[in-house]
Every structure is written in C-alpha cells, then in structure tokens.
A and B are shown apart, each in its own frame.
Chain A
Amino acid sequence: MAIPRPDDRAPAAGPMVPQPYRVVRKSRDTADTWTLELEPVDGGRARFRPGQFNMLYAFGTGEVPISISGDPGARGPLVHTVRAVGAATAAVCQAEVGDELGVRGPFGSSWPVSSAEDRDLVIIAGGIGLAPLRPALLAALGRRERFRRLILLYGGRTPEQLLYPEDLDRWGGDGVEVGVTVDTAGDGWNGSVGVVTQLFGGAGLDPARTVAMVCGPEVMMRFAYQGLTSIGVGEADIHISIERNMKCAVTHCGRCQFGPTFACREGPVMRLDEIRPLLEVREL
C-alpha cells in the first residue's frame, strides 16, 4: 500500500516534517481573526488547489489545520486566515511579521471549480467558512468567461464579523453576484439580516445549472444543502467542506476518520451524494 502523501508537488522533506515559513504580512480581519501571509524560509513553496489546507505549527504550542485562503493562480505568499479559538490558533494569530511558523502540506481534496464551467457557480459561505472558499472564487474569477453566473451568498454573525469586506465590494464589480446577510445588526446596517438560506430566493438560482460549494458551521451547511435540494439542485452538484479534528493530516492517526473516509484525505471537500448517509450518523 502506498504511503499517503500530501500534494505531490510538496517539498521532498516528507509530509510529517514542518517547513519553516516566515510571516511577511499580517492583517486583522475581525476582533478574533487575522490573515497571515507566509513565505518559505528556504524557498520552493508548494502549489495548492482551492479548498486544500496546511498544518500550521506554532512552535512550542501546537499544530492546527488551516485552509489556504489565497489565490491559487498567484505566485505570492501563502495566505491563511485564522480565527483564534484555542491555544494553537491563538498562538498562530499572535505571530508577528518576521516570526516563523512551521507549515506542512498542502493536504486534502479541493473544490471542483472546473465542474462548474458553463454553469452557475454558487458559493455559500458562513462565518470563517468564506476563507476556504475564497481560492475557489478567485480561481473562477481568473477565468470568468468560462462560467455563466458566479454567485456568492455569505452569512455572518454581525456586520463587524464579516470577512474580506473590501473583497466583497470588489467582487461585486468583477461580475460576481454577492449576497450578504448577518444574524443580527444594529440600525447602522442596511443589508440583509437573517440566515444565509434566506438569500436563495433573491438570488434566483437555476437548480439545473447550479454547482454549489458550501462551507461553514455544520448546522449552517445542513440548512444550506437542504435548501438547495428542496429547490431541485442535485446532490451530485453540491460540495461541502467537512471539518473534523485532525492531527497528522496523512490518515495515520485516525482522528479525522469519518466512516470509511478520512477528512484529511477524501476531504475536506466532499460531494454531498457521496457522504450524505454519513452526515446522518450522529456518532460520526
């Protein structure tokens, strides 16, 4: 049996050896979320596909799987948007420009952006879930003419916690139909308030032409794919990103086992019709 390896373009050091990367830029997205741009200390960064993730290692604290949120077609630094929710993610977020982090990867499956060519690519994101979908949208924008409609439906907790507000404005001008909603807002917000599925009606989705990519908290994804299938979108045209605890990222530890699959290998991006029975098993 072949030993599982990350993307075959990854550095030759092996999938379990973190490569040193240096933080070259850092920006704060929300109260608890930062975007870090990383350059390899020794050069030779691996390419990635939209939806893949890296293991980021804050030396001395811990390692966490973080999706890549940059443009897969760009040659610049590796971009990761990280929300500080625990010790390891907080340590990654505390890294300053010039500090080093360990990087392993990229790992996992990817958003099948090409499958949406000549169709409507509908990206549905909730909260930090926009970060793993950003590369898919950027990849589609890089060859905009191959897609019919590009639609982004994004739900967040509050207006202040929305990611990439400048991108949202820019994408709207670049031919992306952008719908944004939040769970709650003050009277300074004139946008939509409600759950992300509430945006489906206004988006005028064409079920037969839709290829949907969904990422967010699992409850939100469940409502989203139920909403999509209820209007006639086929399960084979719906892709979701599964989040499970990961440790090794190469299937050895079994932490992310999801029935007969591993979130780190068959996932994180999976086709709904292939995993829906598993999603209904609560013990998984």
Chain B
Amino acid sequence: MADPQTIDQLLVEVPAFEGLDPEYLELIAGCGVNRVVEAGTYLWREGEPADDFFVVRRGRIALEVFSPARGQVVIGTHGPGELVGWSWLFPPYRWQFDGRAAETTHAIVFDGACLRGKCDADQTLGYELMQRFAARMLARLQATRLQLLDVYGHPPSG
C-alpha cells in the first residue's frame, strides 16, 4: 500500500528536523525517497562511495566492521527517528563501516550531493542543518566513548 504521507510530512516527526520551516522541509524532502529494505540486506559496504544517508522510520540499521579475529562485529545500531550516515558530508565521501538492515527497515534515503548542493546555495539552511547534525554527532561521540569505557567489564573486586 502506498504511504499516504509525503516525505516532507514524514520529516516533521524526525527529531533532527523538528521545528524547521516548512519551506526548508520541502527543500530537504526533494532530495529523499522512501525505501524498504529486507532484514539482512547490506545497504552499503565499507569503502564504497557514500552518496546518501538514511532516516530510519521503522526497523533498525546496524553499523558493522569486519575483524579477522572476531568476524563481523556490530558496533552500533540505529532505530526509528535516527539519522544514519555522516560520510556523505565530507570528502572523500566513502563509507567507513558496513551498514546492514538488522530487521526489515523502512527508511527515507537522502541523496547527499543533492542536499549539499542545496546547503551551498542557501547557507542559512546549511548552517541550520550543520548545527543539528553536529549535535547528533556529538551525542554519538559521547555514547561511543561510554561504550569504550567497557563499564560492565571489570567491576571492583569484592
């Protein structure tokens, strides 16, 4: 069944775009398409061109890295409402990790070059989006540092 909502209507519910002017939402939505991905499908592989990014609507995307000693390791997952993929923002525009649909996933896929072009043309939009993306990258960085602490690994002896 066709999704009754347009992409700009869907974006209203995405925290990263909350409160944006409707005209900006429409502009951003022009770079996006809806996509449904079956569980287990790789959306991209490490080293491939990072042409796009994802807003998860339903389901979950896993970021993975291959280690010869441990095989495929899941280093993070992202669910509904979250943005996945930053590599489209900066040269050399290559994916750093693998991305797999951990379950059947409904996402809006954005063309990175399209959105970069619109941000270059309207730097107020570009600044606004960069602030929002940077806040999310900061949260992701802090969460990753907490993961690295391995807080569940070695409690004090007793």
A contacts, CB < 8 Å to B: 64, 83, 85-89, 126-128, 155-157, 161, 181, 183-187, 189-195, 197-198, 201-202, 216-217, 219-220, 223, 245
Contacts and interface: CB of A to CB of B under 8 A. Distances in A.
Contacts of B102: 190-191
B51 interface: no
B76 A127 contact: no
A64 B151 CA distance: 21
A58 to B, nearest CB: 12
B103 interface: yes
A195 B70 CA distance: 21
21 contacts: A85-B155, A85-B156, A85-B157, A86-B156, A88-B158, A126-B151, A126-B152, A128-B152, A161-B152, A184-B73, A185-B74, A187-B73, A190-B60, A192-B79, A193-B62, A195-B146, A197-B143, A198-B143, A201-B82, A216-B151, A245-B158
A39 to B, nearest CB: 24
B152 A194 contact: no
B149 A219 contact: yes
A201 B15 contact: yes
A219 B80 contact: no
B39 A190 contact: yes
Nearest to B81: A201
A193 B74 contact: yes
B64 interface: yes
Q: How large is the interface on B (under 10, 10 to 19, 20 to 34, 35 or more residues)?
A: 20 to 34
B34 interface: no
A184 B74 contact: yes
Interface in B50-87: 60, 62, 64, 70-82
Contact of B150 (A157, A189, A190, A201): A157
Interface of B: 15, 39, 60, 62, 64, 70-82, 102-103, 143, 146-147, 149-158
A245 B154 CA distance: 16
Contacts, number: 94
A195 B156 contact: no
Contacts of A87: 157
B143 A194 contact: yes
B70 A89 contact: no
A219 B79 contact: no
Contacts of B82: 201
Contact of A186 (B73, B78, B81, B152): B73
Contacts of B74: 184-187, 189, 193
A161 B150 CA distance: 13
Of residues A181, A198, A219, which shows the largest number of chain B Cβ atoms within 10 Å of its Cβ? A198
Contacts of A216: 151-152
Given A126-B152, A184-B73, A219 B146 contact: yes
Given A157-B152, A198-B143, A192 B158 contact: no
Nearest to B80: A202
Chain A to chain B: the 9 pairs with minimum beta-carbon distance, closest first = A86-B157, A127-B152, A157-B152, A217-B151, A187-B72, A193-B77, A185-B74, A86-B158, A193-B74
Nearest to B142: A223
A217 B149 CA distance: 11
A204 to B, nearest CB: 10
A198 to B, nearest CB: 6
Contacts of A156: 152
Contact of B147 (A83, A128, A195): A195
